[in-house]
Amino acid sequence: MDDQHGILMDTMNELRLAVVHGRGREEISALLDQLIEFTRMHYWSEEQLMEHSGFPGLAEHRDEHHAMLARMLQSGHKVQYGEGVPLRQLLCSLRDRYIDHIEKLDQPYGPWLNERGVY
Ligand SMILES: [Fe+2]
Ligand SMILES: [Fe+2]
């Protein structure tokens, strides 16, 4: 899971750089789509792991994943169609929330899984 988080953060950084360097909407939109696809896959594997190990915080965590994906899709839509939307601000808040999720919600279940010898 930490590997996946690493890849996600790399993609997030790539996206941030694309915005900083003033790349076109198309390129940013494609990167964001890539991030969304990978996130979807990552969330799914996280939830599978939690489900199989009987993690007690699964329902809450799943809700947060849904909220996160909805927000990303919404941002994707804005990037694609919302002319004049401040991209930097949009992606910064997305990024903050993303990191927040990994730090506050994903970190606690790692040790919990380790204790049970899941990985
Ligand atoms: Fe995660
Ligand atoms: Fe998560």
CA of 47 to the centre of ligand 1 (A): 9
CA distance 85 to 7: 27
CA distance 78 to 56: 35
Asked whether residue 117 carries a pLDDT value surpassing 80, the answer given is no
Tens-place pLDDT, residues 65-77: 999 999 999 999 9
CA of 65 to the centre of ligand 2 (A): 6
Tens-place pLDDT, residues 97-110: 988 999 898 988 87
Q: Please, are residues 71 and 16 in contact by the beta-carbon 8 Å criterion?
A: no
What backbone phi and psi angles, to 5 degrees, belong to 19?
-70, -45
This prediction has a pTM of 0.88
Tens-place pLDDT, residues 16-30: 899 889 898 889 999
CA of 31 to the centre of ligand 1 (A): 19
Q: What is the separation of C-alpha 102 from the centre of its chain, rounded to a whole number of angstroms?
A: 8
